[in-house]
Amino acid sequence: MAAIIDKTYGQAVISGKVMSKKDAVPGASITIKDTYDGTTSDSSGNFKFTTTEKGERIIVISAVGYKTFEEKLTLSNQPVSLDITLKEEVTELNAVIVSAGTFEAGDKKRAAVLSSLDVATTAGSNADITAALKTLPGTQQVGEQEGLFVRGGAGYETKQYMMATL
């Protein structure tokens, strides 16, 4: 007769369900504080993981839009089952400011100087000089024509001056 070996010997199994007042909380992060042991809840709020940690530990459960939950647990070789109800946290997003680098253009400054860093960090340009120039105020490309329209001018009136400095 073969012996049955318990592969969870020396490990604690932690399982349970994460809920809000109304529904299950999918994607909640469940961890033992100051360790790498943990998991996330499934679409029904259920979770299960094993740990080799022993003694008194703190379990931390967090999810976007909810207050972080912390509770002390005493871990041994016995399974631990938790049913956690997270409280909603009202948050407000602050204003987001997106800039296209440090260059500027206007009537006072009739030329715009773009450094290589400006070209590389301009959103959507993928470090392409022409794409970075298209983000300057008053410039646009019309159709498949070569060049850029600048404040109502025609495509043949636009010029791109590029100067490399070492």
User: Over the stretch 52-108, which tens digit does the pLDDT of each residue have?
Assistant: 999 999 999 999 889 999 999 988 888 999 999 999 987 766 665 555 555 554 555
- Do 60 and 119 fall into the same domain? no
Here the tokens at position 152 are 């109502």
pLDDT at 26: 93
Residues 46 and 79 in one domain: yes
Residue 131: per-residue pLDDT: 73
Quote the pLDDT of residue 145.
61
pLDDT value of position 58:
93
Last residue of a domain, one of 66, 85, 104: 85
Contacts of 43 (CB under 8 A, 6+ apart): 24, 26
**Whether 136 contacts 109, CB under 8 Å:** no
On whether both 81 and 19 belong to a single domain, the answer is yes
Domain count, the chain: 2
Three-state DSSP state, 119: helix
Q: State the amino acid at position 103 in one-letter form.
A: F
State the residue range of the domain holding 51: 12-85
CB 20 within 8 A of CB 84: no
Over the stretch 1-26, which tens digit does the pLDDT of each residue have? 444 444 545 688 999 999 999 899 99
